[in-house]
A and B are shown apart, each in its own frame.
Chain A
Amino acid sequence: MNPSPFQVTSRLVKDVAVVYPQGYLNNLAGEGLVSECSRYARTGIKKVVVNFGKTDLINSIGISLLLHVMEELQAVEGTLCFTDMSKVQVDIFEMLGLSKFFLFFPDEDRALQFLNVRER
Chain B
Amino acid sequence: MELGKALFNIAALADLGEEITSEKNFQEKLHSLLHVVLGTFLASRGAVTCQDRSGDTMAFVARRGFDDLSPAAIDLGRIRSAGKNEPFLNADDAALAAAGVEVVTPLWVRDEFIGTILLGRKFTAEPYSREDFELLRVISHQVAITLNNHALFLNLSEQLNDNRKLYEEMRRIYHDTLQAFAAAIDAKDMYTRHHSQRVARYASAIARELGWSDHDIEGIYVAGFLHDVGKLVISNELLNKKTPFTEEEKAEIRRHSLVSYKIISQIKFPWKDVEKIIKHHHERLDGTGYPDALSRDDLSEGAKILTLADSFDAMTSERAYRRKMDLRSALIEMNSCLNLQFDDKIMLAFCRVLDKEIKGELPEPDILPHLGRESDLTVISAMLEGLIEELSGQKDGG
The distance in angstroms between the C-alpha atoms of A96 and B40, with both chains bound, is 10
Partner among A59, A64, A92, A96 whose Cβ is within 8 Å of the Cβ of B124: A96
Quote the shortest CB–CB distance from A25 to chain B (angstroms).
Answer: 10
Q: Is B36 a contact partner of A60 (Cβ separation < 8 A)?
A: yes
Quote the shortest CB–CB distance from A22 to chain B (angstroms).
Answer: 19
In chain B, what residue has the closest Cβ to A95?
B4
Q: Is A67 a contact partner of B5 (Cβ separation < 8 A)?
A: no
Provide the B12-33 mask, 1 if CB < 8 A to any CB of A, else 0.
Answer: 1001000100000000100110
The distance in angstroms between the C-alpha atoms of A88 and B296, with both chains bound, is 78
The distance in angstroms between the C-alpha atoms of A69 and B19, with both chains bound, is 22
The distance in angstroms between the C-alpha atoms of A61 and B40, with both chains bound, is 8
A63 CB contacts on chain B under 8 angstroms? 39-40, 42
**Is there a chain A Cβ closer than 8 Å to B111's Cβ?**
no
Interface-central residue, B2, B32, B43, B126, by most chain A CB under 10 Å: B32
**Is there a chain B Cβ closer than 8 Å to A91's Cβ?**
yes
Partner among A28, A67, A71, A97 whose Cβ is within 8 Å of the Cβ of B126: A97
The distance in angstroms between the C-alpha atoms of A63 and B15, with both chains bound, is 12
Which interface class (under 10, 10 to 19, 20 to 34, 35 or more) fits B?
A: 20 to 34
Given contacts A70-B123, A91-B4, A97-B126, contact A64 B36 (CB under 8 A): yes
Interface-central residue, B4, B36, B123, B124, by most chain A CB under 10 Å: B123
The distance in angstroms between the C-alpha atoms of A84 and B181, with both chains bound, is 81
A28 CB contacts on chain B under 8 angstroms? 28, 31-32, 35
Quote the shortest CB–CB distance from A20 to chain B (angstroms).
Answer: 21
The A interface is mostly helix, strand or loop, or mixed, namely helix
In chain A, what residue has the closest Cβ to B22?
A27
The distance in angstroms between the C-alpha atoms of A101 and B44, with both chains bound, is 14
Q: Is B15 a contact partner of A59 (Cβ separation < 8 A)?
A: yes
In chain B, what residue has the closest Cβ to A61?
B35
Q: Is A96 a contact partner of B8 (Cβ separation < 8 A)?
A: yes
The distance in angstroms between the C-alpha atoms of A70 and B40, with both chains bound, is 16
**Is there a chain A Cβ closer than 8 Å to B11's Cβ?**
yes
Partner among B4, B5, B28, B39 whose Cβ is within 8 Å of the Cβ of A62: B39
A26 CB contacts on chain B under 8 angstroms? 15
Q: Is B5 a contact partner of A95 (Cβ separation < 8 A)?
A: yes
Q: Is B35 a contact partner of A60 (Cβ separation < 8 A)?
A: yes
B126 CB contacts on chain A under 8 angstroms? 97
A70 CB contacts on chain B under 8 angstroms? 123
Quote the shortest CB–CB distance from B254 to chain A (angstroms).
Answer: 70
Q: Is A98 a contact partner of B42 (Cβ separation < 8 A)?
A: yes
Q: Is A64 a contact partner of B39 (Cβ separation < 8 A)?
A: yes
The distance in angstroms between the C-alpha atoms of A92 and B12, with both chains bound, is 12
Partner among A61, A67, A97, A101 whose Cβ is within 8 Å of the Cβ of B36: A61
Q: Is B38 a contact partner of A67 (Cβ separation < 8 A)?
A: yes
In chain A, what residue has the closest Cβ to B2?
A95
In chain B, what residue has the closest Cβ to A91?
B4
In chain A, what residue has the closest Cβ to B4?
A95
Quote the shortest CB–CB distance from B315 to chain A (angstroms).
Answer: 64
The distance in angstroms between the C-alpha atoms of A27 and B12, with both chains bound, is 13
The distance in angstroms between the C-alpha atoms of A65 and B42, with both chains bound, is 10
A98 CB contacts on chain B under 8 angstroms? 42, 123-124
Given contacts A61-B35, A96-B8, contact A67 B28 (CB under 8 A): no
The distance in angstroms between the C-alpha atoms of A91 and B4, with both chains bound, is 9
Provide the B103-137 mask, 1 if CB < 8 A to any CB of A, else 0.
Answer: 00000000000000000000110100000000000
Quote the shortest CB–CB distance from B66 to chain A (angstroms).
Answer: 14
A95 CB contacts on chain B under 8 angstroms? 2, 4-5, 8
Which residues 41-74 in B have Cβ within 8 Å of A in the complex? 42-44, 64
B124 CB contacts on chain A under 8 angstroms? 96-98
Provide the A45-67 mask, 1 if CB < 8 A to any CB of B, else 0.
Answer: 00000000000000111111101
A97 CB contacts on chain B under 8 angstroms? 42, 124, 126
In chain A, what residue has the closest Cβ to B19?
A61
Which residues 9-67 in A have Cβ within 8 Å of B in the complex? 26-28, 59-65, 67
A65 CB contacts on chain B under 8 angstroms? 35, 39
If A60-B36, A61-B19, A95-B4 are given as contacts, then 7 extra A-B residue pairs at C-beta distance below 8 Å, sorted by A number, are A28-B31, A60-B35, A62-B39, A64-B36, A64-B38, A64-B39, A97-B124
B interface residues (Cβ-Cβ under 8 A, vs A): 2, 4-5, 8, 11-12, 15, 19, 28, 31-32, 35-36, 38-40, 42-44, 64, 123-124, 126
Instruction: Show 18 A/B contacts (Cβ-Cβ < 8 Å), sorted by A.
Output: A27-B32, A28-B31, A59-B11, A59-B39, A60-B11, A60-B35, A60-B39, A61-B36, A62-B39, A64-B38, A67-B38, A67-B44, A70-B123, A91-B4, A95-B2, A95-B8, A96-B124, A98-B124
Closest 7 CB pairs of A and B: A60-B39, A64-B39, A63-B39, A64-B38, A64-B35, A61-B35, A95-B4
A interface residues (Cβ-Cβ under 8 A, vs B): 26-28, 59-65, 67-68, 70-71, 91-92, 95-98, 101
